[in-house]
A and B are shown apart, each in its own frame.
Chain A
Amino acid sequence: MKENTSHKIEWEIISKYLSGEMSAEEKLAFEKLIDSNPEYAEIVSASDKDLGLIQEVNEIQQQFNVDAAWSEVKSNLSDFKKANTTKIIPLFSLQNTKKLVQIAAMLIIAVGLGLASYHIYNDKLAPYQSISSELNESGKSITLADGSIVTLNGKSELVYERSFAGKERRVKLTGEAFFSIAKNPAKPFIISVGNAEIKVLGTSFNVNASNKHVEVLVESGKVQFSLAKEPDNKIILEKGDFGVLQEDFLEKRTQNDENYLSWKTQLMVFKAMSLQDVAKVINRTYQVNIQFNDTAIQNLPITTSFNKTPLNDVLENLCRPHNLTYEKSGSQITIKKELK
Chain B
Amino acid sequence: MPEDTDTILKHIQRGNLQEFEKLFRAYYPLLCHYALRFVKDTNQAEEIVQELFCQLWENRKDLKIHTSLKAYLYKATYFNSLQVLRKRGVKTQYEKYIKNNKPESSLPIDSVEEKEIYNIVQKTLANLPDRCSKIFKMSRFEGLKYQEIADKLSISVKTVEANMGKALKAFRKNLKDYVGIIVL
Q: Which residues of A contact B54 (CB under 8 A)?
A: 73, 76-77, 80
Q: In A25-78, which residues have CB < 8 Å from any B CB?
A: 39, 42-43, 45-47, 49-51, 53-58, 60-61, 63-64, 66, 69-70, 72-74, 76-77
Q: Tell whether B165 is near chain A: CB-to-CB under 8 Å.
A: yes
Q: In the complex, identify which listed stretch (B23-31, B72-80, B92-100) lies at the interface while the others stay far away.
A: B23-31
Contact call A64/B168, Cβ cutoff below 8 A: no
Q: Which residues of B contact A6 (CB under 8 A)?
A: 169, 184
Contact call B183/A60, Cβ cutoff below 8 A: no
Contact call A64/B140, Cβ cutoff below 8 A: no
Contact call A54/B50, Cβ cutoff below 8 A: no
Q: How far is the CA of A73 from the CA of B55 in the complex (A)?
A: 10
Contact call A50/B171, Cβ cutoff below 8 A: yes
Q: How far is the CA of A39 from the CA of B182 in the complex (A)?
A: 10
Contact call A53/B121, Cβ cutoff below 8 A: yes
Contact call A46/B118, Cβ cutoff below 8 A: no
Given A51-B140, A70-B21, CB of A60 within 8 Å of CB of B168: no
Q: Tell whether B57 is near chain A: CB-to-CB under 8 Å.
A: yes
Given A15-B168, A60-B112, CB of A46 within 8 Å of CB of B180: yes
Q: Tell whether B166 is near chain A: CB-to-CB under 8 Å.
A: yes
Q: Tell whether B106 is near chain A: CB-to-CB under 8 Å.
A: no
Q: Tell whether B122 is near chain A: CB-to-CB under 8 Å.
A: yes
Q: How far is the CA of A12 from the CA of B139 in the complex (A)?
A: 13
Contact call B162/A12, Cβ cutoff below 8 A: yes
Q: Which residues of B contact A50 (CB under 8 A)?
A: 168, 171-172, 175, 179-180
Q: In B50-109, which residues have CB < 8 Å from any A CB?
A: 50, 53-54, 57-58
Question: B residues within 8 Å of A by Cβ?
Answer: 15, 17, 21, 24-25, 28-30, 32-33, 42, 46, 49-50, 53-54, 57-58, 111-112, 117-118, 121-122, 125, 139-141, 145-146, 161-162, 164-169, 171-172, 175-176, 179-181, 183-184
Main secondary structure of the interface of B (DSSP, over half): helix
Sample of 20 A–B contacts (CB below 8 Å) = A6-B169, A6-B184, A9-B184, A12-B161, A15-B161, A16-B146, A16-B161, A46-B183, A47-B168, A49-B180, A51-B168, A53-B117, A57-B117, A63-B33, A66-B24, A69-B46, A73-B50, A76-B50, A77-B17, A77-B54
Contact of A19 among B17, B28, B42, B164 (CB under 8 A): B164
Contact call A11/B145, Cβ cutoff below 8 A: no
Q: How far is the CA of A57 from the CA of B181 in the complex (A)?
A: 20
What count of chain A residues pass the 8 Å CB interface test? Answer: 43
Look across to chain B and name the residue whose beta carbon is closest to the beta carbon of A6: B184
Contact call A58/B141, Cβ cutoff below 8 A: yes
> 1/0 per residue A159-185: CB within 8 Å of B?
000000000000000000000000000
Contact call A53/B112, Cβ cutoff below 8 A: yes
Give the residue among A49, A69, A74 with the most B Cβ atoms within 10 A. Answer: A69
Contact call A11/B166, Cβ cutoff below 8 A: yes
Contact of A55 among B57, B117, B140 (CB under 8 A): B140
Q: How far is the CA of A47 from the CA of B172 in the complex (A)?
A: 6
Contact call B25/A66, Cβ cutoff below 8 A: yes
